Amino acid sequence: MIERISNKAELRAAVAAARKEGKRVGFVPTMGALHEGHLSLVRAACARTDLVVASIFVNPTQFSPGEDFEAYPRPIEADLSALSAEGVEVAFTPTPATMYAPDTQVTVDPGPLAARWEGALRAGHFAGVATVVAKLFSIVRPDLAFFGEKDYQQLKIIERLVLDLDLGVGIVACPTVRERDGLALSSRNAYLSAQERQTAIAVPEALEAAARAVAWGELDVPAIEAAMRDAFQVRVAASDVAVSLDYAAVIDPATLEPLERVAGTARAIVAAHVGTTHLIDNCPLAPPAA
């Protein structure tokens, strides 16, 4: 049976009681509207820790003006049942007023990893993410916290946040969960019309094109990126949906800087607007063994 806690002091007490019994605490931070991707994080947390806390908090500070903060889906009862069915014992569901005092002054600067890609498209987004994750870690004090590789830039920023601020939380990266046709699961997929949903597979198709090119020995990044854009456009050209490709790039998996050549491991990243829905995805790239 899941316990829903909205108050910071109560949450701290519940975690402290578990710790006293020698339990290891796992944490899955979410914004709700849970899907199989979130549940895969929960399953990983249940497998590796003794008490799993999941938070559901649609964090206002990571939405830029004009984004979908108000419209973001909040199916709280369904989310609590899904977490309970997976064996989560505590759901932390604070309100914005619980998380942020009206006179809040200090925020976390996510640094250079936030400069490009989503950081360039969404002003202030990663400062909002880094700040709320630091606050959630400080409230929950987990041993391990679980994040999806789908939000790759977010994952790298959080790993760095933990390192640079000595937060003492182990970050566990979990693989992206996909639909059968390759579309990465995302709460925002719910916004897509049927036609947009069909067109959205342009995003994983661009990644597949990158992986194929590298597997065939293409290591020149401009050529790989051209293959990504071509694959994307082939799918988009077959549809009437308004689509814009925000970026299709091959980057260093640690620094997130653009690469000129794939020498060791690399990451292909794609972001696009399909209709008004912003979709992101990524995959690892490795040159064929010599």
Which residues of the shown chain bind ligand PAF in the complex (CB under 6 A)? Answer: 29-31, 59, 62, 129, 132-133, 151, 154
201 phi, psi to nearest 5 deg: -70, -5
In the complex, the smallest distance separating the C-beta of residue 133 from ligand PAF, rounded to whole angstroms, is 6
Q: Is 38 a catalytic residue?
A: yes
**Which of 38, 197 has the CB closer to ligand PAF?**
38
Sole residue written with tokens 């299709």: 248
**Which of 99, 285 has the CB closer to ligand PAF?**
99
In the complex, the smallest distance separating the C-beta of residue 229 from ligand PAF, rounded to whole angstroms, is 27
In the complex, the smallest distance separating the C-beta of residue 288 from ligand PAF, rounded to whole angstroms, is 33
Q: With contact defined as beta carbons under 8 Å apart, do 191 and 165 qualify? A: no
- 39 closest CA partner among 77, 3, 75, 88: 88
Distance CA 151, CA 157 (A): 10
56 phi, psi to nearest 5 deg: -125, 110
**Which of 149, 151 has the CB closer to ligand PAF?**
151
Let me know how long the chain is: 290
Helix-strand-coil split of the chain, %, nearest 5: 40, 20, 40
In the complex, the smallest distance separating the C-beta of residue 169 from ligand PAF, rounded to whole angstroms, is 13
In the complex, the smallest distance separating the C-beta of residue 39 from ligand PAF, rounded to whole angstroms, is 13
Catalytic annotation, pick one of 35, 38, 125, 278: 38
Distance CA 40, CA 198 (A): 24
C-alpha pair distances (Å), 146 with each of 9, 45, 174, 212, 230: 23, 7, 7, 29, 34
Q: What is the DSSP string of 265-286?
A: -EEEEEEEEETTEEEEEEEEE-
Distance CA 276, CA 289 (A): 41
**Which of 61, 199 has the CB closer to ligand PAF?**
61
**Which of 146, 232 has the CB closer to ligand PAF?**
146
Q: What positions carry a catalytic annotation? A: 38
